[in-house]
Structure 1
Amino acid sequence: MTGHTRPAQTEHRPPTEATVKQLYATAFRCGKPECPRPLYRMNNETGETILNSRIAHIHARRQGGPRWNPQMTEADNRSAGNLLPLCIEDAAEVDETPAHYPADLLREWKREQLREYDTIQRAWPITDDQAAEAAEQSFGPQQEAAATAAAAAVAQVARCASRLVETSRQQRRAAADAAAGWQAMRARWAQSLGPFFDPGTGDRLTSDEAQVEPPRRDTEECESALRATLRTAKEAIEPVATDLVAELGAVRVVARALGLRCDQVEQDARSLVSAATQWDLSDPGDGVWHQAVARLEAAVQALGAVWHEEDARSQPPQPTVPQSEATACPPAA
């Protein structure tokens, strides 16, 4: 069996240091219009100016990167017109959540930044060494390493979430069997005593309507069996959920702009744990658990969508898993 080699992805060379100097000579603060942060900041103790910015590509220089344009030539890609100096926080955000920052918007920021320079005539005429530092911080290996770390963390979240869903699915089978045994016992007991009729109207009643319950001893035996399966489910599921929460913490560190999406995944994971460790006897379709699974899977997909530059809402939904008011087996202790 022969292997298949993936084609190499296109990658343009980084901008020259001369282009970097040109950028800082025509900008003073972050290119995001409402952001007041200067591109360099002053150390109050030493008076030294410290780089406080990164250079974002409007169209990425690597295939698959944010806002990649396959029609753009290398010369245009590494030109000043395709580059936007931003503060460190905003430079990270526009690349981590590119769906929220399309190229047209960044080009407008670029025009506004140049208009502001024309008005105030304030900029940072940096030295060759400073230009080299800005280029290294913006386009050097550490930038690619950070992107790689973020991609790996997002992928690990997806794997942990899938493991959580599958583990809860496996554990749910035993609980379903125990609940079915309980229901079968109640049906046999009702059949042995029935049929039931309303003494006033003579209408036939179900065992539930007649409020006929099996002996407490039989009920406790079935309830104990169901509780045991729910305790086992809790012991199996909670460590997987803990791993997922830990991986979400890693994503928050390496891709801060994904924080809201991580919060949603964590909330839905906790809802799934709650749903998987209790059982509603009046819900034969196990609806609460299925809803919890669907919401977690949707939240993970939304997290990946933002990372992969797909269209996603800026604010995630805030669903709550409804709790049935009908008789239910309480959560496992």
Structure 2
Amino acid sequence: MTGHTRPAQPEYRPPTEATVKQLYATAFRCGKPECPRPLYRMNNETGETILNSRIAHIHARRQGGPRWDQQMPEADNRSAGNLLPLCLEHAAEVDETPAHYPADLLREWKREQLREYDTIQRAWPITDDQAAEAVERSFGPQQEATATAAAAAVAHVARCASRLVETSRQQRRSAADAAAAWQAMRARWAQRLGPFFAPDTGDRLTPDEAQVEPPRRDTEECESALRSTLRAAKEATEPVATDLVAELGAVRVVSRALGPWCDQVEHEVRALVGAAAKWDRSDSGDSAWSQAVARLETAVQALGAAWHEEEACSQPPQPTVRQSEATACPPAA
């Protein structure tokens, strides 16, 4: 004889405000180990504390949701043991990619969060109004959907930016090899023809100072090889950049306030694609491309910080006006 299975409800009620107050009274920072973000943050200008977290369910309260357990009674589903305060990013992440965050892992995070509280005795005792705000922002349908969409979009931008940088870096190695071959060929010709001296002073000159160049045939061969690698870099980075710009459009849709930061990231994306298609022969350190990478990474970090409201500034940094670099090999067509 089989046991009776309780019919599953399609959706449970959100936790009570009293349960939420209990959660915040026994936790100080995000429940994901190694994440330092506090559950509330301090506004440096006003001194007020601002909710910097959401409450994640270990087992979803809706049928079909992340880690849904149809055998779990509603009372257990709404209890503190099934709830985990996390920063905004990780609260969205554990629900967006539930396969990476199984229930057993989240329960271990929960235990670690409580152990940390027992050790440091730091938490966020909150008022009834703050508990109501946490419930609304964590479980209100519109706020929940908007926060999840915004978190997913910002996370996608960060992933696309990392992919763009890595793609560009891989392609840059080929360009560096081609440029090194060009320089080696010039050095061989200079060694054959040198040394060089200034006619008026007799001072020894470098090949560049003496303006000694190899035969045009050899130069064209090396230049063609470098152009080929730059063209490949452009072809490899442009599709990734297109995906990144599309993700920025999604961020703008779910959060109009992040528009200026998205504009900054898009500006740096286009700058990096342009830098990846150029090579300055006089710049042995390839600083123009390296600076473009650094500016993009900074812009993406600023976008994430603005979404988390971690920065006091109300506007993103303005794009830097760049002087055009003289390149031995112009941009790939």
Above 0.5 in TM-score? yes
1:31-84 deviations in Å (ceiling 9; x for gaps): xxxxxxxxxxxxxxxxxxxxxxxxxx9757854578xx92113x24357xx79x
Is residue 196–residue 206 contact of structure 1 (8 Å, CA) maintained in 2?
A: yes
Is residue 164–residue 240 contact of structure 1 (8 Å, CA) maintained in 2?
A: yes
Is residue 264–residue 319 contact of structure 2 (8 Å, CA) maintained in 1?
A: no
Q: Secondary structure at the match of 1:258?
A: helix
> Structure 1: 5+ residue runs without aligned partners?
1-9, 15-56, 84-134
Q: Which residue of 2 aligns with 1:271?
A: 271
Q: Which residue of 1 aligns with 2:145?
A: 145
After superposition, the Cα gap between the structure-2 partners of 1:277 and 1:244, relative to the gap in structure 1 and judged at 3 Å, is same
Shift of 1:203: 1.1
Q: Which residue of 2 aligns with 1:186?
A: 186
Tell me whether 1:72 sits opposite 2:126 in the alignment: yes
Shift of 1:326: 3.9
Q: Which residue of 1 aligns with 2:234?
A: 234
- Distance in 2 of aligned mates of 1:324 and 1:237: 21
After superposition, the Cα gap between the structure-2 partners of 1:316 and 1:273, relative to the gap in structure 1 and judged at 3 Å, is same
Indicate the structure (1 or 2) with the bigger Cα radius of gyration. 1
User: Partner letter of residue 170 of structure 1?
Assistant: Q
1:235-255 deviations in Å (ceiling 9; x for gaps): 110000000000000000001
- Distance in 1 of aligned mates of 2:218 and 2:169: 28
Q: Which residue of 2 aligns with 1:40?
A: none
- Distance in 1 of aligned mates of 2:226 and 2:287: 18
Q: Secondary structure at the match of 1:208?
A: helix
1:100-150 deviations in Å (ceiling 9; x for gaps): xxxxxxxxxxxxxxxxxxxxxxxxxxxxxxxxxxx9999731220111011
Q: Which residue of 2 aligns with 1:251?
A: 251
Tell me whether 1:302 sits opposite 2:309 in the alignment: no
1:205-259 deviations in Å (ceiling 9; x for gaps): 1111111111111110000000000111111100000000000000000011110
Q: Secondary structure at the match of 2:282?
A: coil
After superposition, the Cα gap between the structure-2 partners of 1:216 and 1:321, relative to the gap in structure 1 and judged at 3 Å, is farther
User: Partner letter of residue 151 of structure 2?
Assistant: A
Is residue 165–residue 293 contact of structure 1 (8 Å, CA) maintained in 2?
A: yes
- Distance in 2 of aligned mates of 1:136 and 1:204: 77
Q: Secondary structure at the match of 1:209?
A: helix
Corresponding pairs, count = 226
- Distance in 2 of aligned mates of 1:276 and 1:248: 21
User: Partner letter of residue 71 of structure 1?
Assistant: P
Is residue 12–residue 77 contact of structure 1 (8 Å, CA) maintained in 2?
A: no
- How high is the TM-score relative to the length of structure 1? 0.62
User: Partner letter of residue 250 of structure 1?
Assistant: A
After superposition, the Cα gap between the structure-2 partners of 1:168 and 1:321, relative to the gap in structure 1 and judged at 3 Å, is farther
Deviates more, 1:322-331 or 1:167-176: 322-331
Shift of 1:315: 1.6
- How high is the TM-score relative to the length of structure 2? 0.62
Instruction: Map 1:185-204 to 2 at 5 A.
Output: 185-204=185-204
Shift of 1:320: 2.9
Identity %: 75
